[in-house]
Structure 1
């Protein structure tokens, strides 16, 4: 290769060696300009091939087109529709010169030089000259060396672009990731930007069931399909996968609350359609939280926190819902976070204690049983009932630990009363959360505690809600059978609140039904409640089950229950929850005064 050509190749190498993705196009154009001058041709171009779509794309050219002018040939040319020059370029391996009589453009000579990457042609370097131009083998060798340098730049830019893509996108779905989402929202929420800006937080309900049943690869494929559907249905939007089964959609244009809610409902419907996975037709419901931010007022963290709080409310309400953020949700979330923070070490600090609610025969006033109720003395919020913290305990896997503490503490105090000769005929009732009941080894744990304190068969009764029985009947059936074999009674609490177990009662080892207080509170005033209570009384008689009415607070309710055959009850009319020593004294006394004549 002549010395002058070597110097040209060296000069090009010097210019291209330091370029990156940001400077590659500009420097490439400058190099093309110098090559056009050196080789005395009319123009030059650099194109990169996209073999996934079988097309070639213009990267740089010299001289450049006037501002606003369309490139000719077009910026993107599909090989299937290309003229001979570009059709040849798809898999070109060696430089070739097309003259006017052999395929050049309208009386021009075109030198086509491939950009090599192994055996793949990744682009083309072209030089165009009107009329006929002779290219020497030395010139073509120099152009081949220059094309190799351009190919190295192309590979470097591709690698940078790929790293940038991976830094801003989720590798499973190709959607944006949290980092890209945060940057997008930061820009959208600047004071000078149009608003409002809405955020739709998507959380799939119970994806774990798919992973457990079909495997994690099936779960990943399911997420990929949902991501594709979300991208197709959302319209112009920033869509990000936040991890696992969580997605966030930010519409590109300003969107108010009503429009955001409408979009959420439409996307929820699109995601509810079944997906074929490994021969199975799979579907999951989705919970969506919607929040709206105002540029200049709300920050990115504010908007995401509000959307997260809304979707958490949707999940805690049973899932498959669209929930709009509100101030009430914020207060609830703040309360929940406070509970979760302080609940972690609540047993070690001794902040838990028990109260006991007597169960009475309303005909005689005899104390028949007592229900252990856990209470928490919160450091800042005061005395809390279990409804305030058991749900949180379940969500952070503390329900089992709390349940064991309640069981051991109640059985220990009950055993102490019995050792003092008190409550020998009474029954201790202890509430059980759904998480406890379906946990491995639960029945064995209960049996061990009962045996540890020497409590006789039939003296301890576990109360489970009607919903537990329906949700996982097979596990429940096995667990209840084990409890029955261990001499532990079972009562269905809150009976009649909407989950039918009528068909299961005859096959489950259940000892008692407890009528939910919502049907008892207004007895004597609401004929509908009376009809439900009478039906439950008849059901208990038919299956020979004990029957207890909860929430007896008025003489009218008590008298109505007695008249229709329900004798056992608990509620504030009879007694409020009392400490252990007072419960022991009440059991020693044996009765409370009763006189429930109807007014």
Structure 2
């Protein structure tokens, strides 16, 4: 019987030790006993809260199950405390029930005589061992089921999860982690040190010592860790950007392991990189944009201050780029910009910066030049000349071969008190000087130019207030005939600024043109002239005087210019024949047909026209004969050297003859000497304007001058 018990125990130990489930263990154990004891029925019954359930029965059929449950019920009722076997006899069988402590009942049945006392004693001991084995199997099964559920839960999440013990060896891993890391099965990781397997190096492949690893630091600090700028290594050997959280497992103030969850953030990193690229780089050319340029310029100023070495900023603008866009289209223009970007990069060193500000504007920043300004300027010039040569080479733009040039403005980065915007502005100003110098060239910034720009900016700011503050005044320059009789005057605007004093029209008229202020200023001049003509009507000396007014391009090309002039004339009720509008050739050529239509409309109300600065533009009889003019004005540039320049004399004679042939009066401006006046008179010009007669003066001085001129004219008239 001892042998039977040993064999039975061996079966139990093997079954439980191999992780066998409850059913296989019971099948094996009961089979051994039934074979050795000659039993034909063997069963185990589970008792749960007074409810009995057959866990395993050999053989299993309805009759046996009823008998087993019956004897189990009687045994539980009669002998649970005494642990004595309970026996019942059925037709041809004897059934014995043995208590399985804390579990249930074991039932054995056989035909023939019952078990001996020795066997019964052994079976009672075996029942104790079997109860322990059943409980162990059920607990193991419960743990296994819990593990399966936990693994199912782990595998159902998209984030990678793994556990490690205190040595960093993997204890479990989910499917997402395996997928992210490129492993097929958990056995590739479980039991292995994960730092050496997936966390051994930084993104650049330099070693990542375990004692510096954030995960290791968590084991020391007992704190959870969040990492979002590290990599795990894929089985293939490629780094994977990850964001991870590590939670240490602490028992009795000791870290016994940790659980790590992580995401593959490759797509997020790629999106972040794209967003960063869009924020700091030009989409078309891939060059740094203004924002990145300013960041690098700031660093360059700091580096220059520290090292004492100069740098340089080059502002590059393509010449006539708009024409290319307008003729061949923006796609071709974009292609040119991309090729220009490539050529610029090839002209500078690796540490220099080529940026695109927008449109056809590029900036190159040179660093680490000489500490001596002259040498740094020479180095800068050499790079600029290299750029000009490169950009002058033909471009193959699709099916078009195109040649382009560029204008470059340069400034040295040496004054460490300068702001970033000041440096960029200096290079921009120098570039515009290059444009004015004929394009396809280089110009360096100088302080005198900057002072001029700053003064100009201040002037423009004050110009906006000048009209409202009544700072504009009209000066009048007299116009006379060959008898020195006053026929009228040209009304010339002057700006009396509280800050700058008397400002020349050459300074503020271009500013007014650029800013659009020329329109309200021009209207004010017309209003003031008509107001003066009205005032002169009351005086016999002045009532027939004609006032000439210069009209700007923007003013003349307004859609409502005709209505504006007509309204002013009617409002002041003046004789329109006494108002003469002076137009330039360049103005008329802006839109010749519209110009003729506007002039004809004003001609209908008897407003007169004079063609100013005649001969300096593109004079042509083809359009000249179509213009409803009253007068040609010989430009002072031809009058100035009449005494010495035969070419000017020939031109003046031609203009006078042309005016006469078109039945137009002719007046010369800039007459300063009697010799000039006499030449003009000898060649048929009998109207004059210039310093020989008077400089432009305010209205009070002009009216006083009229009286003097009238008296002088009377003297001349009497002598003739």
In 1, the alpha carbon distance for the partners of 2:611 and 2:387 equals 38
Cα RMSD for the two superposed structures: 4.3
2:556 aligned partner: 437
2:395–2:401 CA contact under 8 A, matched in 1: no
2:385 to 262, 266, 273: 262
1:562 aligned partner: 681
In 1, the alpha carbon distance for the partners of 2:609 and 2:289 equals 49
1:484 aligned partner: 603
In 2, the alpha carbon distance for the partners of 1:441 and 1:353 equals 25
User: How much has 1:239 moved relative to structure 2?
Assistant: 3.2
User: How much has 1:568 moved relative to structure 2?
Assistant: 0.9
C-alpha offsets along residues 379-402 of structure 1, whole Å, 9 cap, x if unaligned?
222101211101111111111111
C-alpha offsets along residues 542-586 of structure 1, whole Å, 9 cap, x if unaligned?
222221111111222122212222111111111111212333444
In 1, the alpha carbon distance for the partners of 2:704 and 2:408 equals 52
1:239 to 322, 331, 354: 354
Q: Which moved more, 1:446-455 or 1:222-231?
A: 222-231
C-alpha offsets along residues 459-484 of structure 1, whole Å, 9 cap, x if unaligned?
21111222223344344333333333
1:103 aligned partner: none
SS at match of 1:358: strand
Question: 1:159 aligned to 2:274?
Answer: no
C-alpha offsets along residues 53-85 of structure 1, whole Å, 9 cap, x if unaligned?
xxxxx9665979xxxxxxxxxxxxxxxxxxxxx
C-alpha offsets along residues 358-405 of structure 1, whole Å, 9 cap, x if unaligned?
1111x2011112111000012222101211101111111111111111
User: How much has 1:442 moved relative to structure 2?
Assistant: 2.0
Residues 192 and 317 of structure 1, relative CA distance in 2, 3 Å threshold: same
- Larger RCO of the pair (alpha carbons < 8 Å, separation 6+): 1
2:632–2:664 CA contact under 8 A, matched in 1: yes
2:592 aligned partner: 473
Q: Which moved more, 1:517-526 or 1:170-179?
A: 170-179
1:423 aligned partner: 542
2:526 to 407, 411, 429: 407
In 2, the alpha carbon distance for the partners of 1:442 and 1:321 equals 41
TM-score normalised by structure 1 residue count: 0.69
Residues 404 and 188 of structure 1, relative CA distance in 2, 3 Å threshold: same
1:82 aligned partner: none
2:340 aligned partner: 230
User: How much has 1:36 moved relative to structure 2?
Assistant: 7.9
SS at match of 2:468: coil
In 2, the alpha carbon distance for the partners of 1:401 and 1:364 equals 38
1:186 aligned partner: 298
In 2, the alpha carbon distance for the partners of 1:124 and 1:295 equals 44
1:200 aligned partner: 314
In 2, the alpha carbon distance for the partners of 1:283 and 1:379 equals 51
User: How much has 1:194 moved relative to structure 2?
Assistant: 7.4
User: Unmatched 5+ residue regions in structure 2?
Assistant: 1-146, 169-180, 182-187, 209-233, 243-259, 370-375
In 2, the alpha carbon distance for the partners of 1:294 and 1:490 equals 56
Residues 11 and 245 of structure 1, relative CA distance in 2, 3 Å threshold: farther
SS at match of 2:606: coil
2:569 aligned partner: 450
Question: 1:250 aligned to 2:365?
Answer: yes
In 1, the alpha carbon distance for the partners of 2:442 and 2:464 equals 31
In 1, the alpha carbon distance for the partners of 2:551 and 2:160 equals 84
Output aligned runs, 1:80-229, within 5 Å: 151=264, 153-171=265-283, 174-189=286-301, 190-193=304-307, 195-203=309-317, 221=331, 224-229=334-339
In 1, the alpha carbon distance for the partners of 2:296 and 2:310 equals 14
In 1, the alpha carbon distance for the partners of 2:474 and 2:396 equals 48
User: How much has 1:176 moved relative to structure 2?
Assistant: 2.4
User: Highest Rg: 1 or 2?
Assistant: 2
2:655 aligned partner: 536
2:581 aligned partner: 462
In 2, the alpha carbon distance for the partners of 1:553 and 1:228 equals 57
1:359–1:367 CA contact under 8 A, matched in 2: yes
User: Unmatched 5+ residue regions in structure 1?
Assistant: 16-27, 29-34, 47-57, 65-109, 116-122, 126-145
1:135 aligned partner: none
SS at match of 1:565: coil
* Total equivalences in the alignment: 483
Question: 1:340 aligned to 2:448?
Answer: no
C-alpha offsets along residues 395-446 of structure 1, whole Å, 9 cap, x if unaligned?
1111111111111111211221124344333221101122222232223212
1:427–1:459 CA contact under 8 A, matched in 2: yes
* Bigger proportion of residues as helix: 2
1:353 to 473, 477, 484: 473
In 1, the alpha carbon distance for the partners of 2:515 and 2:283 equals 29
2:67 aligned partner: none
User: How much has 1:283 moved relative to structure 2?
Assistant: 9.8
Residues 336 and 11 of structure 1, relative CA distance in 2, 3 Å threshold: farther
User: How much has 1:591 moved relative to structure 2?
Assistant: 2.9
Output aligned runs, 1:295-310, within 5 Å: 296=416, 299-310=419-430
C-alpha offsets along residues 67-104 of structure 1, whole Å, 9 cap, x if unaligned?
xxxxxxxxxxxxxxxxxxxxxxxxxxxxxxxxxxxxxx
User: How much has 1:242 moved relative to structure 2?
Assistant: 3.1
User: How much has 1:304 moved relative to structure 2?
Assistant: 1.2
SS at match of 2:294: helix
1:172–1:224 CA contact under 8 A, matched in 2: yes
Residues 565 and 8 of structure 1, relative CA distance in 2, 3 Å threshold: closer
1:9 to 143, 161, 165: 161
User: How much has 1:214 moved relative to structure 2?
Assistant: 8.9
Q: Which moved more, 1:523-532 or 1:1-10?
A: 1-10
1:291–1:303 CA contact under 8 A, matched in 2: yes
In 2, the alpha carbon distance for the partners of 1:176 and 1:166 equals 10
In 1, the alpha carbon distance for the partners of 2:475 and 2:408 equals 39
SS at match of 2:466: coil
1:369 aligned partner: 488
1:173–1:223 CA contact under 8 A, matched in 2: no
TM-score normalised by structure 2 residue count: 0.58
1:360–1:368 CA contact under 8 A, matched in 2: yes
